[in-house]
Amino acid sequence: MSIEIRNLSKRLGGKTILDRVSLDIPEGSLLALLGPSGSGKTTLLRIIAGLETPDEGDVSVRGEASGARRPQDRQVGFVFQHYALFPHMSVRENIAFGLDVKPRAQRPAREAIRARVDELLQLIQLDSYGHRLPSELSGGQRQRVALARALAVEPRVLLLDEPFGALDAQVRAELRQWLRRLHDVSKVTTVLVTHDQEEAMEVADTVAVMNRARIEQVGPPRDIYDHPATAFVARFVGQMNQLHQVAEGTAFARPHDMELSLDPGEGETAQVVKLAPAGAFARLRLRLPSGRELEVHLTRERLAHLHIVEGSRVYVRPNRVQVFPEDYSI
Amino acid sequence: MSEIPLPAEGVGEPRWLRWTLTAVAVAFLLVFLVLPLANIFHAALSEGWRVFLASLRDEEAAQAIRLSLLSTGAAVLLSGVFGLAAAWFLGRHRIPGHGLWVAVLDLPFAISPVVAGLMFVLLFGLDGWFGPWLDRHNTQIIFAKPGIVLATAFVTFPFVARELLPLVEALGPEAEEAARLLGASPWQTFWRVTLPALKWGLLYGVILCASRAMGEFGAVSVVSGHIRGETMTLPLHIEAVYNEYQFGAAFACASLLSLVALVSLALKSFVAWRARRDREAA
């Protein structure tokens, strides 16, 4: 196990930031800490890095307790949301920083540092940008430099705090695919903090969903999506329709687990309020007589077969229902 | 003037008003700033170069210049180190009473320099709190050089701290955290990351501090004791020779002080320009 987190608790000004959080992160994996803002995910990451200290509990990396280690001795690579590049240093100097500050005995020779920086510049596809200042780069380029800088010292773990949060949608999507490929090559144990469930699901091997200072569920993205452990996870990860109350709690169904029909008796009556046929799926918004709205995704063939338009009356029925006990947190 | 595009009549102020205001401003600058300053140099040289140079080479004048340089150097060093530490501490830590501490930084600006001087007399003078103890240890602060250095440093303390505090806050803790996580020690982080980001602000504060320290009169006047050839700074020396009707000597020294002011003004503008350029690039 690369990172073991045991019973971490942290309080700040009477507010519980982390509440007895435990988590195991296997060597070489990429784990996403997913949660809404204020759920404690960034604090957890900063404790792993040693930038903050927990009130209780411990973190160990490769079997060594890291509590006593100073941040500079933890050998973690950290990437900040706002890059935190050194503004007065060139791209090369930024990347070389971690190697330059090593004690003389451990510091690689000048040529070795240069070669390593060249290699990293190539990796982040900024070969010809070495002499530029961070201010002369775009946001996406800056974040790649920040990643290269973190990787230069060959960290034991790589920690990314909302690394794509400040970038626009397209650059975000490109960079997260690039990050995944990078991880497949480098195999550095990586923890990615994000509030973007799509990002977490696309990039990570394992997703840990956090809510209100606790981890609610840990698992592969598919499990999280198909078998959410709590109502919070069900609603936070992907879209979810809240259906009726049952004895055990509330029934939920995914938009693509809903069946539509034109035959009365095949489910509840509903009216199509909005129909967006673009993309692989047609997305429909239905309104029940009770006023509650449902989201339904149909294949386009199915839509063509049904001859539905906005305003049509349809009958809706879930194919697959998941029931969660009442949860008043949302 | 025809190349300068002026706003059309009726959009801004009428032309006569603009010209009048400009004329008033220029006249004011001429009469109150440029002419008196030019006159200092004129008066300094009115008795010829020989007298001018002799007044600067005079034993007492030379001592005053040396002491002014010493106290300025010490004040710059003290308020540079103190200002950097205070700005970093207040900018990085949210201590209780933060606003109050920032206000305390301004105290030396708010207090009249004469009162500041008296404070030191009350502390270190023979009848002061530490006076008897200092006397037993054969140390003299008031009416001696240490007092002059202290008084000068006190009145110039806020310059560097005030200049740096907003810069420290703007820099934020992240670059320093990044450096620490990359393996840099706190010391390396300070020298390689924090200080370079603050360098122009620090230099600006140091120049302000130095020019103020060179000209400091009130506080130093109280603690100096005016011992000729020993505890006179340049401004004190100017006043003394002026009171003895040695106008040539007084203006020669005054012109030197004015020259220092002009040079520091030029330096200050240059540093401000560089700082702005760096900020725009960032």
Q: How far is A120 from chain B (nearest CA, A)?
A: 16
CB contact under 8 A, B177 and A135: no
Q: Hunting for tokens 């270190």 — which residue is that? A: B124
Which positions in chain B touch A136 (Cβ < 8 Å)?
Answer: 281
Q: Would you place residue B2 in the very low, low, confident or very high pLDDT band (cuts 50, 70, 90)?
A: very low
Taking residues A104-114, report their average pLDDT: 94
Length of chain A: 330
CB contact under 8 A, A77 and B174: no
A30-34/A206-211 β-pairing: parallel
Q: How far is B185 from chain A (nearest CA, A)?
A: 7
Give pLDDT tens digits for A300-322: 888 888 888 888 899 999 998 89
Which positions in chain B touch A66 (Cβ < 8 Å)?
Answer: none
Which among A168, A150, A6 has a CA at the least distance from the CA of A84?
A150
The partner residue sitting opposite B184, judged by closest CB among A49, A72, A76, is A72
Cβ within 8 Å of residue A243, ≥6 positions away: A250, A251, A252, A253, A318, A321
CB A188 within 8 A of CB A3: no
Give pLDDT tens digits for B70-126: 999 999 999 999 999 999 999 988 888 888 988 888 889 889 999 999 999 998 888
Taking residues B2-16, report their average pLDDT: 64
Average pLDDT value over all residues in chain B: 88
Helix/strand/coil for B59 = helix
Which among A5, A1, A116 has a CA at the least distance from the CA of A57?
A5
**Residue B43 CA: distances (Å) to CA of A25, B49, B234:** 81, 11, 18
Taking residues A240-267, report their average pLDDT: 87
Question: A321 exposed, middle or buried (CB, 10 Å; 0-12, 13-18, 19+)?
Answer: middle
Query: Sign of the CA dihedral A129, A135, A136, A139?
Result: positive
Give pLDDT tens digits for A267-293: 889 999 999 887 888 899 999 988 889
Q: Hunting for tokens 């940008």 — which residue is that? A: A129
Give pLDDT tens digits for B249-279: 888 889 998 999 899 999 999 998 888 887 7
CB A84 within 8 A of CB B174: yes
Q: Would you place residue A98 in the very low, low, confident or very high pLDDT band (cuts 50, 70, 90)?
A: very high
Give, for A318, the enclosing helix (H) or strand (E): strand A313-318
Q: What is the DSSP string of B65-92?
A: HHHHHHHHHHHHHHHHHHHHHHHHHHHH
Residue A149 CA to residue A151 CA, distance in Å, equals 5
Residue A65 CA to residue B258 CA, distance in Å, equals 64
Strand partners, A259: A317
Domain boundary assignment for chain B: 11-45, 49-281
Taking residues A38-46, report their average pLDDT: 94
Q: Hunting for tokens 């879930």 — which residue is that? A: A318
Cβ within 8 Å of residue B45, ≥6 positions away: B52, B255
Q: Which residue type occupies A330?
A: I
pTM: 0.81
Query: In this model, does residue B36 exceed pLDDT 70?
Result: yes
The partner residue sitting opposite A86, judged by closest CB among B175, B180, B281, is B175
Strongest mean pLDDT among A158-162, B141-145, B169-173: A158-162
- Whole-number pLDDT of residue A327: 60
Query: In this model, does residue B11 exceed pLDDT 70?
Result: no
- Whole-number pLDDT of residue B53: 87
Q: Hunting for tokens 């603050």 — which residue is that? A: B198
Would you state the structure tokens that stand for residue A226, as one six-digit string?
């198909």
Q: How far is A73 from chain B (nearest CA, A)?
A: 6
- Whole-number pLDDT of residue B80: 93
| Side-by-side strand order, sheet with A281-287 | A258-261, A313-318, A268-276, A281-287, A293-299
CB contact under 8 A, A72 and B174: no
Which positions in chain B touch A133 (Cβ < 8 Å)?
Answer: 281
- Whole-number pLDDT of residue B234: 92
Question: A101: left (phi > 0), else alpha (psi -120 to 50), else beta?
Answer: alpha
A15-25/A3-12 β-pairing: antiparallel
Residue B136 CA to residue A317 CA, distance in Å, equals 98
Percent of all residues in chain B with a pLDDT value above 70, rounded to a whole number: 95
Q: Would you place residue B1 in the very low, low, confident or very high pLDDT band (cuts 50, 70, 90)?
A: very low
Taking residues A250-275, report their average pLDDT: 89
- Interface A-B: count of C-beta contacts within 8 A: 73
- Residues of chain B in Cβ contact (below 8 Å) with chain A: 174-175, 177-185, 188, 192-193, 196-197, 278, 281-282
Residue A27 CA to residue B202 CA, distance in Å, equals 46
| Lowest-pLDDT choice from A95-99, A187-191, A244-248, B232-236 | A244-248
Q: How far is B80 from chain A (nearest CA, A)?
A: 21
- Whole-number pLDDT of residue A273: 92
Classify residue A136 by its DSSP letter: G
CB contact under 8 A, A98 and B183: yes
Which positions in chain B touch A76 (Cβ < 8 Å)?
Answer: 181
Which residue is closest to B199 within chain A, CA to CA? Answer: A88
Task: Report ipTM (2 d.p.).
Answer: 0.85
Q: How far is B182 from chain A (nearest CA, A)?
A: 5
Residue B240 CA to residue B255 CA, distance in Å, equals 15
HSE at residue A324, side-chain half, CA atoms within 13 A, is: 19
The partner residue sitting opposite B178, judged by closest CB among A70, A80, A102, is A80
- Whole-number pLDDT of residue B173: 92
Which positions in chain B touch A146 (Cβ < 8 Å)?
Answer: 178
Query: In this model, does residue A81 exceed pLDDT 50?
Result: yes
Which residue is closest to A151 within chain B, CA to CA? Answer: B182
Helix/strand/coil for B34 = helix
A64-65/A268-276 β-pairing: unpaired
Would you state the structure tokens that stand for residue B158, as one six-digit string?
């806020």
CB A40 within 8 A of CB A21: yes
**Residue A66 CA: distances (Å) to CA of A49, A59, A62, A72, A153:** 9, 6, 10, 11, 18
Average pLDDT value over all residues in chain A: 91
Higher-scoring residue by pLDDT: B236, A66 = B236
- Whole-number pLDDT of residue B4: 63
Cβ within 8 Å of residue B242, ≥6 positions away: B250
- DSSP H helices, chain A, are 41-49, 91-100, 110-123, 139-152, 169-186, 197-203, 221-226, 231-236, 300-306
- Whole-number pLDDT of residue A330: 44
Q: Which residue type occupies B160?
A: V
CB B162 within 8 A of CB B106: yes
The partner residue sitting opposite A98, judged by closest CB among B182, B193, B278, is B182
- Fold designation for B49-281: MetI-like fold (1.10.3720)
Mutation choice for A interface testing from B177, B180, B182, B195 by most A CBs within 10 A:
B182
CB contact under 8 A, A71 and B181: yes
Q: How far is B279 from chain A (nearest CA, A)?
A: 10
Which positions in chain A touch B185 (Cβ < 8 Å)?
Answer: 72, 101
